[in-house]
Amino acid sequence: MDFDRHDGVAVVGFATIVALSRAVDPAPLSAALAGFLLSVAVWRLYDGKPWEALAWLAWVGAAVAPVLPSGDRAYGVLFLGPLLVGLGLLFGSRFDLLPAIWDVDRGTVDER
């Protein structure tokens, strides 16, 4: 389970947004967190790790949960559901439990 530059950026960015949670209203903070997670998902996809990109996209869904009242059942479903799906995809990708879907040799355009 490697820890690369993108993981470091994700940890620092997430810690910064969590630190801002004391001073900023939840709605703009959720938007900032969702945008940050979306950018990390794009980095992962560009890096050739589609399962990790899907995990980060699932966490984009969890980032909007703080806007809902915390006592609602929808809060738990909207927050915990994508969080668990993202964790499963991330660890499944890191421990090679998911198939390598981009490692297939497709050949060149002339060979098709």
According to DSSP, residue 39 is labeled H
Report the pLDDT value the prediction gives residue 51, as an integer from 0 to 100.
92
Report the pLDDT value the prediction gives residue 74, as an integer from 0 to 100.
73
Helices H / strands E in the chain, number of each: 4, 0
On the CB side of 86, how many CA atoms lie within 13 Å of its CA? 20
Asked if 37 and 63 count as a contact pair (C-beta separation under 8 A), the reply is yes
Name the residue among 65, 87, 69, 66 with its Cα closest to residue 77: 65
Report the pLDDT value the prediction gives residue 54, as an integer from 0 to 100.
93
112 residues of the chain, pLDDT tens digit each: 667 787 777 778 777 877 777 788 878 888 888 888 899 899 888 888 899 999 999 988 888 777 777 777 777 787 888 889 988 998 999 898 998 887 655 555 555 4
Report the pLDDT value the prediction gives residue 108, as an integer from 0 to 100.
53
Give the span between the Cα atoms of 1 and 5, in whole angstroms. Answer: 13
Name the residue among 11, 32, 12, 10 with its Cα closest to residue 21: 32
